[in-house]
Structure 1
Amino acid sequence: MLFLFHSLKYFYGLLSYICNMKQLLFIILVLFCMPSIIGQETEKLGVKKDSVVDSKYREDQFYASVTYNLLGKKPNNVSQSGFSSGFHIGFIRDMPINKRRNIAIGIGLGLSTNSYNQNILISEENNTLNYELINSDVTFSKNKFTTYLIEIPIEFRWRTSTATEYDFWRIYTGIKLGYVVHNSSKFRGLPNDIKLSNIDNVNAIQYGLTLSAGYSNVNFHLYYALNSIFDNDTKLTDSGEIVDMTAFKIGLIFYIL
């Protein structure tokens, strides 16, 4: 598994170089517009969608998700502020395991970016990382850390779909494995801005439980981390308290094809 993550790291690096967030959102928009465009062109050609029944159909193989990211197990006096967002896209191979094809196993590959706005200032002095709570009298406009991951979602899938039914109920649950290929922290305030990248204390492997449920295009999505974002050596400089915060993400997920 680690070999796969390391191999994909180089692919993600190239993708990160050529894609910024606006381009990522554009890709998501194109993915969700394509089915509508194809459907319209099919109708223009006089072909009915129900005229051909695919007995080997698969469902929900591309996904895009937007989440609100919360932090669990926060040290004393640590709080979040603003909107901590997550953006996730990927492909899941749908593999039905029964004759009706409404129960399946899904294994996929995706990309994810997650930001966490909070009041722990990460700085570096003499090659030593410091984690300090920002005093209430300090003026700042931004303080966040961000992770960029390659992810492998594994799902057990149940739905009410048929070969000709395109709107259906679904409940998908499983586990998501992630490899952090890049991370960064940004502080914008007084007395000076601080930017760091590839912080050693961030756990390279992130994993957690997932649940997606809904009807048709509207589906709720939850992610509950099973390990901490930072390693066990990460402590607040002033109190010595371990920073073993975990991620909890709640949002919407959209499936196509």
Structure 2
Amino acid sequence: MRSIVFVLSFVCFFDCIAQEIISEDRSVKSRYFEDQFYLGITYNFIRNKPDDLKQRNLSYGLMGGIIKDIPINRSGTKALGIGLGFALNTYYSNLVVRELPSGFSYDIGSIGPSFKRSKVETHGIEIPLEFRWRNSTPSDYRFWRIYAGMKFSYVVGARSKLVTSDYKDGFFNTDIDNFQYGLYI
């Protein structure tokens, strides 16, 4: 029994020394990474819309995810970022979407005075790609940064909802463009 305890103690001792040497060696060669979680709130604008289409209420977006930092210089002041996230976007307007047996019908406010609100909502998987420029170091966290990039999104679900004084109607909208993208800074 004593020999087993001695051998285990001996192996654990050398294992600790080996890990210490490896970690010291890695700290000398390591580069500075700044991986980040992101959360965001946006106000969505409808672009290239017909004159009759009016945006109503607060058309918002909520997003969150993680971005992996890939330094492109030794000091880590310049880097690329690639990430994965999820986004919810809503668009309130006077666009009336109806589900028909032959597809979907889109009309601008043609439902009359009983119209209250109409909403199109999308859920998407996001892939942000960004160029990162900063003056931070591994020991100093007070710094400035400029991050600019593109965000690609694949819509995994879309829902339309219509509310009038007479009824409510909601359904999954399958004719939304699945691939979306945008620039940001």
Query: What band does the TM-score fall into relative to the shorter chain?
Result: 0.7 to 0.9
Deviates more, 1:143-152 or 1:169-178: 169-178
Give the aligned length.
159
Which whole-Å CA distance do the structure 2 matches of 1:137 and 1:165 have between them? 61
After TM superposition, list the pairs within 5 Å mapping 1:56-67 onto structure 2. 56-67=31-42
Structure 2 counterpart of 1:95: 70
Q: Does 1:205 align with 2:179?
A: yes
Match of 2:92 among 113, 117, 134: 117
- The residue identity in structure 1 corresponding to 2:181 is Y
Match of 2:105 among 127, 130, 148: 130
Equivalent residue letter for 1:201: D
What corresponds to 1:73 in structure 2?
A: 48
Q: CA deviation at 1:135?
A: 4.2
The structure having more radius of gyration, on CA atoms, is: 2
SS at 2:45 equivalent: strand
Letter paired with 1:62: F
Amino acid at match of 1:93: K
Distance 1:118 1:125 in 2: 20
Alpha carbons 1:53, 1:163 under 8 Å: kept: no
Contact 2:158 2:174 in 1 (8 A): no
- 2:104 alignment partner AA: L
SS at 2:58 equivalent: coil
Q: Which has the higher strand share?
A: 2
Alignment correspondent of 2:79: 104
Which letter maps to 2:182? G
CA distance in 1, matches of 2:30, 2:101: 64
Equivalent in the alignment of 1:161? 136
Percent of aligned pairs with the same amino acid: 40
1:154-206, CA deviations, whole angstroms, 9 ceiling, x for partnerless residues? 11111121112223211111111111000001111133212121x23211111
Provide the alpha-carbon RMSD of the alignment: 2.1
Distance across 2 between alignment mates of 1:200 and 1:64: 27
Report runs of 4+ in structure 1 exceeding 3 Å deviation. Answer: 52-55
Q: Gapped runs of 5+ residues in structure 2?
A: 1-26
Q: 2:130 & 2:101 partners in 1: Cα distance?
A: 45
CA distance in 2, matches of 1:136, 1:129: 15
Amino acid of the structure 1 residue aligned with 2:151: K
Say whether the 8 Å CA contact 1:79–1:118 is kept in structure 2.
yes
So what's the TM-score if we normalise by structure 1?
Answer: 0.58
Q: Deviations over 1:203-251 (max 9, x none)?
A: 111112121xxxxxxxxxxxxxxxxxxxxxxxxxxxxxxxxxxxxxxxx
CA distance in 2, matches of 1:152, 1:92: 9
8 Å CA contact retained: 1:188, 1:194:
yes
Partner residue in 1 for 2:12: none
Where relative contact order (Cα < 8 A, 6+ residues apart) is larger, the structure is 1
Inter-partner Cα distance in structure 1 for 2:110 and 2:101: 22
1:143 aligns with 2:118: yes
Q: CA 1:149–1:186 in structure 2 vs 1: closer, same or farther (change >3 Å)?
A: same
Give the TM-score taking structure 2 as reference length: 0.79
